Amino acid sequence: MTSRRKFLTGSALAGVAAITASAASTKVLAQSTIRWRLQTYAGSALGAQVVKPAVDMFNAIAGDEMQIDLYYADQLVPTEELFQAMQRGTIDAVQSDDDSMMSPTDVTVFGGYFPFASRYSLDVPALFNDWGLNEIWADQYANVGVKHISAGAWDPCHFITTSPINSMEDLRGKRVFTFPTAGRFLSQFGVVPVTVPWEDVEIALQTREIDGVAWCGITEAYEVGWADICSHFLTNNISGAWIGHFFANMDRWNELPEHLQVLMAACFEQSHYYRQHWYWAGEARLRTEGTKLELTSIPDAEWAQVEGAAREFWDDIAEESDTAGRVVQIFKDYNASMDRAGRPYRYS
């Protein structure tokens, strides 16, 4: 009995020691949790849809091993400084298009809305995953110390304005908040691009500092409140889908264990998928059931000059660098293929 009591006592003490050691280990792990700061181009209302679910999913799965702290538009740095902040490590990761964050690459001009490069949102993942754009983006960003994690589609680009647009003449003089490249393209039609911080767009619309936006589709206009201030939605668009990405500081990315890299990429890919159906459903539903914006259209014969000008714009961009030329050629080849394929890829 004495030996048995000694054995049981020893076992109990060993068990307590093991539990204590495990608890101590967990505490150390919690104290050494990897923390990243990710800033998105989107404000808090939109960010709740386009990025927060992915970050929440990552944090729930990674637990004490790693957590991503999410920041919305301009909370840490202005959107146009996102690239520089990420490159120097002030921010670990970014969700944005290339154009808005002014990245110093030969593909920057294609970020956001490159005029008529896509017809539908599915064109974007097809171009990146199956037509070679992923490899081009990876090389371009690796050269400047940034990891290109993945690309995805957002909504189409329409004019949402405080007065109706029924003709090309109605575009003339319109002061519009838009992306740099889109503004560069649209200025030939008399549109006046205006740059304000994303969070100030609502006030700029209320004070009539700007007459509208060419920044999104109808889903986003409702989600962020612009539909409460504007009155009209132009059904003609200059692009079928915004091209946006997730990026990370290359050194910070390389420091992560492989399983966390895979997890982050998977969560961000889920984010791309979510936006595909969220925007797609919203664009149709709010055009047909929404009550805040009146729909107008520019006749196809007039709008054809915009589409024709886009192809000339492509050729001008292609001359800027060898890389730009490669990207433009991929856009041309892809769209020609979709045209030949016909329904359901292209209807006209």
pLDDT above 60 (res 121)? yes
**pLDDT tens by residue, 251-279:** 999 999 999 999 999 999 999 999 999 99
How far apart, in whole angstroms, are the C-alpha atoms of residue 74 and residue 79? 6
Say how many CA atoms lie within 13 Å of 346 toward its Cβ: 13
Output the pLDDT for position 307: 95
Q: Which residues belong to CATH 3.40.190.170 in the chain?
A: 28-103+125-153+242-282, 157-241+286-341
Residue 195 or residue 147, greater confidence: 147
CA atoms of 109 and 325, how far apart (whole Å): 12
What is the pTM assigned to this prediction?
Answer: 0.88
Average pLDDT taken over every residue of the chain:
92
Check whether 134 has a pLDDT greater than 50. Answer: yes
Please, which pLDDT band fits residue 154 given cuts at 50, 70 and 90? very high
**Confidence check: pLDDT of 16 > 70:** no
Does residue 10 register a pLDDT over 90? no
Q: What is the pLDDT of residues 286-339, one digit of tens each?
A: 999 999 999 999 999 999 999 999 999 999 999 999 999 999 999 999 999 999
Cβ neighbors of 139 (< 8 A, separation 6 or more) are none
pLDDT bin (cut points 50, 70, 90) of residue 30 is low
Preceding omega of 53 cis (within 30 degrees of 0):
no
List, as one string, the DSSP characters of 159-204: EEESS---SHHHHTT-EEEE-HHHHHHHGGGT-EEE---GGGHHHH
116 secondary structure, DSSP code: T
Note the pLDDT tens digit of each residue in 80-120. 999 999 999 999 999 999 999 999 999 999 999 999 999 99
What is the reported pLDDT for 348?
66
Superfamily designation of domain 157-241+286-341: Bacterial extracellular solute-binding protein, family 7 (3.40.190.170)
pLDDT over 70, % of the chain: 91
Pairing of strands 212-216, 175-178: parallel
Contact yes or no for 111/128 (Cβ under 8 A): no
Pairing of strands 157-161, 212-216: antiparallel
Distance CA 193, CA 171 (A): 11
**In the predicted model, is pLDDT for residue 9 greater than 80?**
no
Residue 26 has pLDDT above 80, yes or no: no
- Cβ pair 161, 212 in contact under 8 A: yes
**Helices (H), ranges, the chain:** 2-31, 44-50, 52-62, 82-87, 123-130, 133-142, 168-171, 180-186, 201-206, 218-224, 250-255, 258-289, 300-318, 322-341
Q: Is 29's pLDDT higher than 50?
A: no
CATH entry 3.40.50.12780 includes domain 28-103+125-153+242-282: no
pLDDT(174) > 50: yes
DSSP letter string, 293-342:
-EEE---HHHHHHHHHHHHHHHHHHHTT-HHHHHHHHHHHHHHHHHHHH-
Per the structure block, which two tokens stand in for 21?
């050691």
Residues β-bridged to residue 39: 71, 94
Predicted confidence (pLDDT) at residue 7 exceeds the cutoff of 80: no
At 109, the amino acid letter reads V
- In this predicted structure, the answer to whether residue 2 has a pLDDT above a threshold of 60 is no
